[in-house]
Amino acid sequence: MTLAGARGTPEVEIPGPPMTLDLAGHLLLPGLINAHDHLEFNLFPRLSYRTHGNAGEWAREIYHPDQSPVREHLRVPKPVRLWWGALKNLLSGVTTVCHHNPYDPEFDGANFPVSVVSRFAWAHSLEFEPDVASRFREAPPDSPFLIHCGEGIDASARQEIDTLDSIGVLDNCTAIIHGVGLDHRLDLMRRRGASLIWCPVSNLLMFGRTVARDILRSEIPIALATDSAMSAPGDLLDALAAARRYLPVENIYDMISSGPRKILKLEPSALAQDWVAVLSDARSPVKALIEGSIALVVVRGKIRLVSPALARKLPQETVRDFQPLTLEGRPAVLVDVDVCELRRAAMRHLGPVLRLSGRRIET
């Protein structure tokens, strides 16, 4: 298939039957990268509505697995929750996700909607991982090492980067997730070559502030990400809108493309067949993504999401098995996923009203 007619991009060939899909009026972009999510937690509601000093305090408040609503959500089979998390990302143009939890065999299925990063090492955090240094030492050579750090605004959160450095867990492979409390240690991050994964929506809702502007405008590598719905309702498009409050649009696009690609050490060849087309008259990718609508997502050379208007231009056999999916406040799309079965599996435990990352699932 040839994707043609999109502004700013030459014709793109993807595997499939010979045909041309005219994308006039669309902006064609490489697939977006979400550098931090917990895929199985995106049917959850936001679990706390007050600000906290640090993430440990938040976790102790919200984690009650024997109480509602956590109890009901944990009864939804984990594979079902992982698929809904993937759909959250697909609907926002994301084709690659870094899932900060154990890698699940579900991700290896040929039909899983998005690519999930498999080559990286991680620890949850200094508070909830008993031996961060061992996890770091056991990481494959030259692989990224991801850890929640500086996730808060109090003295304990501010101290965490120094603790990481003192145990030898801060170098050019280390990707610090959140980093709200690290504004006083930008010099240390620079010296060690560490990078940052920024989740502004989560930060603002949990702590009332996010990463300092001098860090965001520094030369350290930065990737933009969502976190999960438990702390941050919304998707990568909402993260882009939040980031726009802190940075010019021309600085943000790298944070969902080349920034996470470098931080996560992703091979360009692995991303070469991932594309997203945005219906928009804007020429800026960030403005198009925020103000337009996702009309086509191609993952590993296969169409996984298409707008009804573009679907009418495709051969009927290409979209025969696609199913409609509409989230509150977002345009209707068709996805190459058995949405009906996923809904039934979730509704058995959660009832008829489902929300995906805070938005009601309408179809």
- What pLDDT does residue 35 have? 98
- What pLDDT does residue 10 have? 64
Taking the alpha carbons at both ends of the chain, their separation in whole angstroms is 29
Sign, Cα dihedral of 197, 42, 97, 310: negative
Residue 7, pLDDT above cutoff 90: no
> Cα separation of 280 and 332, whole Å?
16
Order of strands across the sheet with 195-198? 121-125, 145-149, 174-178, 195-198, 222-224
Residue 144, pLDDT above cutoff 70: yes
> Cα separation of 168 and 166, whole Å?
6
Would you say 306 and 319 are in contact if contact means Cβ atoms under 8 Å apart?
A: yes
CATH fold for domain 2-360: TIM Barrel (3.20.20)
Q: Label residues 50-80 b or e (16+ Cβ within 10 Å = b).
A: eebbbbbbbbeeeeeeeeeebeebbebeebb
Domain ranges in the chain are 2-360
Would you say 196 and 260 are in contact if contact means Cβ atoms under 8 Å apart?
A: no
Mean pLDDT of 148-160: 96
Residue type, 332: A
Q: How far is CA 333 from the centre of its chain?
A: 19
Q: How confident is the model at residue 156 (pLDDT cuts 50, 70, 90)?
A: very high
Q: How far is CA 121 from the centre of its chain?
A: 17
Residue 115's closest CA among 134, 96, 139, 141? 96
> Cα separation of 211 and 231, whole Å?
16
Sign, Cα dihedral of 106, 111, 112, 114: positive
Residue 74, pLDDT above cutoff 90: yes
CA dihedral 16, 94, 321, 330 (to 10 degrees): -130
Would you say 221 and 196 are in contact if contact means Cβ atoms under 8 Å apart?
A: yes
Residue 128, pLDDT above cutoff 70: yes
Summarize pLDDT for 216-268 with one digit per residue, the tens. Answer: 999 999 999 999 999 999 999 999 999 999 999 989 999 999 999 999 999 99
- What pLDDT does residue 6 have? 81
